Amino acid sequence: MANKLFVRRRDGRVEVRLNELGRGVIREMCAHVLAAERDVDHEWHLSLRPPINPSSDDDDPLSALARENEMASNAEIVVLSLGEEYLSDAEAWAWLCTLQVALRATAITHGILTDEKLEAASPDLLDTILTLQHFLFDLSACF
């Protein structure tokens, strides 16, 4: 069995066992999430702003604003805590939420919506998706 990347400690904190390469992947994903929030031309921008009700073109502006603020806030918390060896529950939750947003945006942007599309993905894209999934599974096990 491979070593866990995130481990819940007895004192309640989440230990981050990522090397610099792993932290670099997370840093890059956070940069994309933050850039997509601010730049309408970013490839992830539309995938971060789907309507609440997909059958309706209208969205509640207040709900949309709350979601946008939450995504940006979580990504900013991750950026601030990237160098930490231990995370609080709030920081670990921000990491989890940001990585989920990054995985979803990556899949939507590249049209990876079925198993067949995933199997046909380029090796680099497949590696990114599997890496994000591995991070998410390990981190979610701490909750």
Mean pLDDT by 10 residues, the chain (143 residues): 85 96 96 88 81 56 66 88 96 95 94 93 96 96 95
pLDDT at 38: 82
**What residues pair up with 16 in beta bridges, in sequence order?**
6
36 belongs to a structural domain: yes
Q: What is the pLDDT of residue 61?
A: 65
**Residue 111 backbone zone (phi > 0: left; psi -120 to 50: alpha; other: beta):** left
pTM: 0.85
Tally of domains within the chain: 1
**Domain limits for position 117:** 11-45+61-140
Alpha-carbon distances of 123 from 25, 29, 99, 106, rounded to whole Å: 16, 18, 20, 14
**Does residue 27 sit within a domain?**
yes
- Confidence at residue 62, expressed as pLDDT on a 0 to 100 scale: 65
Does residue 135 form part of some domain?
yes
pLDDT at 1: 38
